[in-house]
Amino acid sequence: MKKVERINTIMRYINNRSRFTISEIMLEFNISRSTAIRDIREIESLGMPLVAEVGRDGGYFVMHNSLLPGVRFTDTEVKALFIAFMATRNAQLPYLKSRQSLAEKLLGLISTNQQDDLVLLNQMLFFEGTNPHNPDLLELSDLPHPMLEKLIQSLLIDNYLWIAIEEEKAIKPYSICLLRLYHEKSLWLMEGFDLEEEKKRIFPVDRLADVKPYPPKKRLSQKKILDKLSKQAEEINLVFELGPTAIAQYKKYHPLKVSISYTNPYQSTAILKTFVHADKPEELAEMTNWLLFLGEDIQIREAPEQLFEALQERVRGMVK
């Protein structure tokens, strides 16, 4: 890491802590004691109000109610931020309206030459979903569900939530502990622990009608939830090995909950172990499609009989 980049990173590191020591700086940035001390002195010379504490457990802290220096970006950091904005332009992400104002503020922080570089990048780089005739155009279909931001604001306060889900022309309430929020196949999904039925459920955000905090008195503790989930853990019933071609396909797309373990140091072979609900036609069809997508470079060691039958049926249909 170059010195300018390291100084900027250390300043952000310090800003986010009430107290730090030279040893912590040495360990965090893998630098010598003399380098750490020089960097701290240079940061002080830039105007950051640091106060040294004397004694065996002494260290530094940032003086309160003092004006801190503005964050400065290197050329590489500016380009990285800008390209990140471009790459997520058509990705149904929350806070899309704020992204435009962030880009404008970023442009206001940099020089004219840097702005010219970004204009050129905007003209030359294209990502999936970008309109080639108007790269700045945001299609209406790319906007996320309007409840997504409200959901995120709620879970930042507390992940115990009361939600209302649209189901077959009716709205059904659920009390959940939200475990994770993720994006898969162009859909935002909530994985939560149903506090009433005490089991895991997945809800599409597109069907979310309302979200509110859940009363503290009626909730299970996080420890009890994890204990119940561990007891409900599904046994592995699908095991197969992947060669290099299948691994390349896996990297292009794989279901969120499916992960591989490499079986050699060169990461050219791997093994995958998971669970598939053989009695659920939709999940069985999805797994069948994905295995065919991986191609011939897989060897199935264990699988439900229904999955073998579905694969054979699909191949017979392709031959016809």
pLDDT in tens, 125-153: 877 666 666 666 655 555 678 888 899 98
257 and 312 in a single domain? The answer is yes
Contact (Cβ atoms closer than 8 angstroms) between residue 178 and residue 155: yes
Helix then strand then coil, in percent of the chain rounded to 5, is: 45, 20, 35
Strand order in the sheet with 270-274: 260-262, 270-274, 238-242, 298-302
170 has pLDDT over 70: yes
- Answer whether residue 68 shows pLDDT above 60: no
pLDDT one-digit tens code per residue, 42-56: 888 777 778 877 666
- Please report which confidence band the pLDDT of residue 302 belongs to, taking 50, 70 and 90 as the band edges: very high
**pLDDT given for residue 7 in this prediction:** 85
| 119 and 180 housed in the same domain | no
Question: Is the residue at 120 inside a domain?
Answer: yes
Compute the average pLDDT of residues 167-194: 88
Contact 208, 165 (CB under 8 A): yes
Instruction: Residue 157: give the domain boundaries.
Output: 147-231
Helix, strand, or coil here: 52?
Answer: strand
* Domain-embedded: residue 37: yes
Sheet bearing 160-167, strands edge to edge: 199-204, 187-194, 170-184, 160-167, 208-213
Q: Same domain for 81 and 57? A: no
44 and 83: one domain? no
Query: Does some domain include residue 69?
Result: no
pLDDT averaged over every residue in the chain:
83
Closest CA to 274 of 317, 304, 248: 304
Same domain flag for 159 and 177 = yes
CA 44 – CA 38 distance, rounded (Å): 10
The token duo for 64 is: 């309160």
pLDDT range class, residue 218, cuts 50, 70, 90 = confident
Q: What is the pTM of this model?
A: 0.60
Residue 175: its pLDDT value, please?
A: 93
Residues in the chain: 320
Residue 68 lies in a domain: no
Identify the helix (H) or strand (E) that includes residue 127: none
Between 183 and 270, the more confident residue is: 270
Instruction: Please report whether residue 274 resides in a domain.
Output: yes
Type and span of the H or E element at 7:
helix 3-15
DSSP state of 143: S
